[in-house]
Structure 1
Amino acid sequence: MKNIFNKEITNQVIKRINTLTPTTTPNWGKMSVSQMLAHCCVTYEMVYTDKHAKPNAFAKYMLKLFVKKIVVSEKPYAKNGRTAPQFIISDAREFETEKKRLVDYIIKTQELGAQYFDGKESHSFGKLTSDEWNNSFYKHLDHHLNQFGV
């Protein structure tokens, strides 16, 4: 798995994002490119904001038991997989706004670095290692950038 905390890898991901246009269409799935960018921002909103409610103890236990491995492992996501409700973006979004938000989040994450994230509490899964955070961040971005052919 590529390391999103590495500036070179971050720059590669941002370069891929910058090749998207407001009319880029997905190879699979129903999201528009603007919705996809907003969807990718949710991961970072859960780290850097209080926008999304944290799951209760039972829900967190179930997420750790059944979802955590899918999210933090190196195994790629399947096409058209299920997503948590807070990740569903059904309204129209402004392309440039969402692109800037996502790029800013990616840069902030890279600048904070792996050490910042090592042992950091996840919104849904408890404490994660920096490798688990990396896999979560990079795999999600890579999946959706591949979805849109970049």
Structure 2
Amino acid sequence: MESLFTADGNQNIINRINKLKPTSLSHWGKMTVDQMMSHCIGPLDVVYGDLHLKMNPIMALLGRYVIKGKLLKAAQFQKDSPTAPAFIRKGSYDFEATRAELIEKVQKFTQGPQVIKTNKHPFFGPMTNEEWDNLQWKHLDHHLRQFGV
């Protein structure tokens, strides 16, 4: 798996983001391309400490002990995976501005693990820097595949 911490892995994700067009259609799911990019910003905001989510304690136990290990070990996320309500996007977003913000937040990972401002995922519990990297890369890859790039 690639890493957002490395220049090459980070640039590969950015190159794929740059291939998106306002007319790009999803291969599965309900999001438009602008909603998808906005959706991808949310988890990055959690990593950077700019978004704090509360999780139902029972769901958090399920996430920590059942789902986390499966996601981290999987080669990629499955189609139509569930998402946290805080990351659901229904409105429309300025394509260019949203893409620029997403790229800026992805690039921040190249500064190294010190950009990660939390060691606790709201659903998966304690996370190492490497686990955050793994999860973020797979999430971005999942949605870029969703839109064919």
Length-normalised TM-score, structure 1 = 0.86
Q: Which residue of 1 aligns with 2:106?
A: 106
Whether contact under 8 Å (2:48, 2:115) holds in the other structure is: no
1:26 alignment partner, SS class = coil
Q: Give the Cα separation in 1 of the matches to 2:13 and 2:37.
A: 13
Report the count of equivalent residues.
Answer: 149
Length-normalised TM-score, structure 2 = 0.86
Aligned pairs for 1:2-81 within 5 A: 2-81=2-81
Whether contact under 8 Å (2:35, 2:89) holds in the other structure is: yes
Q: Alpha carbons of 1:19 and 1:143: their partners in 2 closer, same or farther (altered >3 Å)? A: same
Q: Deviations over 1:36-59 (max 9, x none)?
A: 001111111212245443225444
Q: Which residue of 2 aligns with 1:144?
A: 143
Q: Which residue of 2 aligns with 1:120?
A: 119
Mean alpha-carbon deviation: is it higher for 68-77 or for 14-23?
Answer: 68-77
| Alignment RMSD (CA, Å) | 2.2
Q: Give the Cα separation in 2 of the matches to 1:137 and 1:50.
A: 15
2:93 alignment partner, SS class = coil
1:54 alignment partner, SS class = coil
- Identify unmatched segments of 5+ residues in structure 1: none
User: For residue 143 of structure 1, what is the amino acid of its counterpart?
Assistant: H
Percent of aligned positions that are identical: 36
Whether contact under 8 Å (2:63, 2:123) holds in the other structure is: yes
Q: Deviations over 1:131-150 (max 9, x none)?
A: 21121011011111111111
1:67 alignment partner, SS class = helix
After TM superposition, give the deviation of residue 83 of structure 1 in Å: 1.5
Q: Give the Cα separation in 2 of the matches to 1:44 and 1:109.
A: 9
Whether contact under 8 Å (2:42, 2:51) holds in the other structure is: no
- Identify unmatched segments of 5+ residues in structure 2: none
